[in-house]
Amino acid sequence: MANAGRWPPWVYDAGKDPDARFSMSNERTFLAWIRTSMALLAGGVALDVVPLRLSDGVQRALAVLVLALGLLCAALSWVRWARSERAMRQGRPLPAPGLGAVLAAGLLVAGAVLMVAVVR
């Protein structure tokens, strides 16, 4: 089935249109990850500007870590959307999730450093 000008073609040229409810659910999941990305970006900015009992280097490193997680979340959420949409169109199983594990690991590191700073 032709993609009727929809982008990206490598997603929409594959297979046939799935039930619209599944595509809309996939889009809602993508938007939820985008909201998470925006929250991480805001948190990274806050870490950079709010005075904490941390050395400037540690505080800046935490801010960079959280900002990087926000950027990674935005990029990988789009990739996840596209891979899931393509899999649905081709009648294949959905790809395994991996984004949550990456975010959890990065936030565990940032949270542990902040917890140590609060306890000091």
Q: What is the pTM of this model?
A: 0.87
Dmax of the chain from CA atoms? 62
Rounded Cα gap, residues 38 and 44, in angstroms: 10
Q: Which two tokens stand for residue 20?
A: 């619209």
pLDDT (tens place) for every residue of the chain, 120 residues total:
557 789 999 999 989 999 999 999 999 999 999 999 999 999 999 999 999 888 999 999 999 999 999 999 999 999 999 999 999 999 999 999 888 999 999 999 999 988 888 787
Estimate the share of the chain in helix, then strand, then coil, as percent rounded to the nearest 5. 75, 0, 25
| 54 in Cβ contact with 117 (< 8 Å) | yes
Q: CA torsion 89→91→95→96, rounded to 10°?
A: 140
